Chain A
Amino acid sequence: MIWRLTAGAVSAFAILASAMVVNAATASEGAPIRFGVQAPITGSYAEEGQGIEKAVRLLAEQQNAKGGLLGRQIEVTVCDDEGKPSQAAICARQLVNAKVVAVIGSYTSGAALAAEPIYAAANVLQTSDGTSNKLSEQGFKIWFGNAAPNSAEAEFTANYLVNVRAFKRIAVLTDHSSFATGLADEVVKNIAAVHGNVVDKAFVSADSQNFTPVLTKLKSLNPDVLYYSGYYSDGGLIRAQMQQLGMDAVFVGGDANQNVAFAKIAGAAAVGSVIVNVPAPQDLPYPAAKQFVADYKAKYGVLPPSVFTLTNADGMRAFLQAIETTKGTDASALEDYLHHVKDFQGLTGTFSWNDRGERTGSPFVAFEMQADGGYKILYPEPAK
């Protein structure tokens, strides 16, 4: 028994100690500027997480090829938070200890929230596509949301549904995720504010595929539009199942429906679906966006999984710009710069940050899927 105990103890400490040595070695040199990626590399959100990692690595590589940042090389440290809050908190500490200047991530609001106070305490900048109000409510100066907050999208959506399209019976559908319920709640609130009529707010279980029961129920309420605030993999399927059930309401989806897979899953039913978002990566009118998507495709052989890959890339690009402009990596100087930067030229549009770190001034559009797989912007009408 005793040898076992000692052996166990020794090996346990050997493992811990060796890990620590590795850590110490990587943290000691000062030359490169280090960026952290905290993202779900495994688990249900792996696709999005791996997309964020790829985008950040691509940007770092491009910057290094141009001679680096302030003449220093960029290094990227990635930590897999699995989309779990408990892992996120550990990742945050590991990235802080790895002496990163800024962190890109995480994909889910929950994981971003659990890490945020740790970055704040260490004065490490954080940018994430998380849209939960709680991320900006805590008043941390290091927080820079790179996707527009729910409130802005909801206001645009409500106006579009009620005033522009004049829908009389709106059904709202969401999954249970933090992001989608937050958006759905805001949309319902904003519809009420413009005196629209929501006939029902219903839920689907994400990933269950079996949405016909709730759609059958919604069909019996005769809505003229169905608004879905969740993700594309379910959204495409919801659109297909609406057609299968003979439901002729218009499908309007929130920004997370923006993915090439949506149209593939929905098949023929995708035509005529409307999605509210900043324009799609490959359809973004800005040359920089087209170039980035082309570079991404060239390096990885696939398109970015969603527009959030691009918004996170925007977060990283803003950090790069801030470091170049302030000629240093001092966190308070960077925060000050970013809070006051006017009209940052993002891949996903021109935007700024307010003092709570919320992205402002994003141009939302409502676009319709076309038979050829492309998109047509319906509103606001493009200037000719």
Chain B
Amino acid sequence: MGTFIQQVFNGLTVGGIYALIALGYTMVYGVMRLINFAHGDLCILGAFIGLTLLTGAAGSGHSGAVLLLLAFVLAVVVIAIAGVVLELVAYRPLRKADRLSAVVSALGASLLIENSIMLIWGPDVHVFPADLLPATTWSVAGANITFVQVMIILSSVLLMAALYFFIHHTRFGTAIRATAIDQDTAKLMGIKVNQVILTVFVVGPALGAIGGLFVGIYYREAYFTMGWTYGLYAFIAAILGGIGNIPGAMVGGVLLGLFNAFAAGYISSSWQDAITFALLIAILLVRPTGLLGEPDAGKV
């Protein structure tokens, strides 16, 4: 029983991180129908920026919590700006073009960011300082649950809820939803589509930066190729939940984390990823537009 509960928490923690990153994916997709392959790299760039502040201010005498808060703020601000620049330079000119052109532009941006990280910070593994957060561990029915795990799970739920409220219960959220449904009609209704898209590129990457920094804090390491892996998993989570759908990203992320945990824990660790992907494909075959996605009426 302890083992089972432990596996659930293992899955929930990593699932929470996937979900946070997936939220950025799904928001951008919902509005622009663009798979932003650079999103994972933006997240890890956020981790590196936070790390630089944390290591730079290590001897400054501030408490871990204050530094951490500052690191989050800095990472969120810088990555939100980077997101906007990305939109203006790499995606806006392609708004009217075939959507695959924008996908390849995003792949180029991914390479660019990944290799920028390598050139700036070097190719080695960077380690986050220890003792930023309490090392408290609770024992629940034989399972060990740490403070960081609980923090990640709670924060991702809270951020998801806030985002859901923002999208569904504010005027700006309504504009985003209208733009997502039909850009041309939204324009006719007086919605400033460009402004909506810029907002999406502020909020999505900002959430991603938080996700990236969580990765760094939880695992205490960061290196330049990490963004690709996390971006891919988050993208898959978004698809699994139904891309464009905000609760879907959350559900997809958590399910992906759980699949991975159960595949390794109960079936076979050597086939862990294969089992995860097989489950994903099986779910898509039953629900071709993801778990919470709306049925596609022939639109590609």
Interface residues, chain A, CB within 8 Å of chain B? 42-44, 46-47, 50, 176, 202-205, 207-210, 212-214, 216-217, 219-220, 232-233, 236-237, 240, 244-246, 261, 264-265, 267-268, 302, 305
Contacts and interface: CB of A to CB of B under 8 A. Distances in A.
Interface string B118-130: 1000111101001
21 contacts: A46-B123, A202-B269, A207-B225, A213-B261, A213-B265, A214-B264, A216-B3, A216-B7, A216-B261, A217-B7, A219-B3, A233-B221, A236-B221, A237-B219, A240-B220, A244-B144, A244-B146, A245-B6, A246-B139, A265-B127, A268-B130
A50 B123 contact: yes
A137 B173 CA distance: 65
A43 B220 contact: no
Contact of B127 (A176, A209, A264): A264
Nearest to A267: B130
B223 interface: yes
Interface string B124-156: 110100100000010100001010000000000
Nearest to A176: B270
Q: Interface of chain A, helix or strand or loop or mixed?
A: helix
Given A220-B3, A267-B130, A233 B125 contact: yes
B109 interface: no
A217 B265 contact: yes
Interface string B12-34: 01100000000000000000000
Contacts of A236: 221
A267 B6 CA distance: 22
B298 to A, nearest CB: 36
Contacts of A245: 6, 144
Nearest to A268: B130
B189 to A, nearest CB: 44
Contacts of A204: 269
Given A42-B118, A216-B3, A265 B125 contact: yes
Contact of A214 (B127, B130, B139, B272): B272
A328 B265 CA distance: 59
Nearest to A208: B229
A203 B130 contact: no
A247 to B, nearest CB: 9
A213 B10 contact: yes
B184 interface: no
B115 interface: yes
Contacts of B14: 209-210, 212
Nearest to B6: A216
A242 to B, nearest CB: 11
A299 B123 CA distance: 18
B127 A261 contact: yes
The winner among B7, B124, B225 for most chain A CB atoms within 10 A is B124
Interface residues of B, number: 40
A216 B12 CA distance: 14
B264 A217 contact: yes
A316 to B, nearest CB: 21
Nearest to A44: B225
Contacts of A43: 225
A222 to B, nearest CB: 11
B82 interface: no
A265 to B, nearest CB: 5
B270 A47 contact: no
Given A203-B272, A210-B257, 10 more contacts: A44-B225, A202-B270, A205-B273, A207-B226, A213-B265, A213-B272, A217-B269, A233-B221, A244-B146, A265-B125
B221 A42 contact: no
Contacts of B122: 47, 302
Contacts of B125: 47, 232-233, 261, 265
B11 A213 contact: yes
A261 B221 CA distance: 9
Nearest to B226: A207
Contact of A267 (B7, B118, B220, B270): B220
A237 B221 contact: yes
B42 interface: no
B270 A261 contact: no
B35 interface: no
Contacts of A217: 3, 7, 264-266, 269
B124 to A, nearest CB: 5
Interface in B234-266: 257, 260-266
Contacts of A302: 122, 124
A47 to B, nearest CB: 4
B187 to A, nearest CB: 37
Interface in B149-192: none
Contacts of A44: 225
A233 B226 CA distance: 12
A167 to B, nearest CB: 21
B215 interface: yes
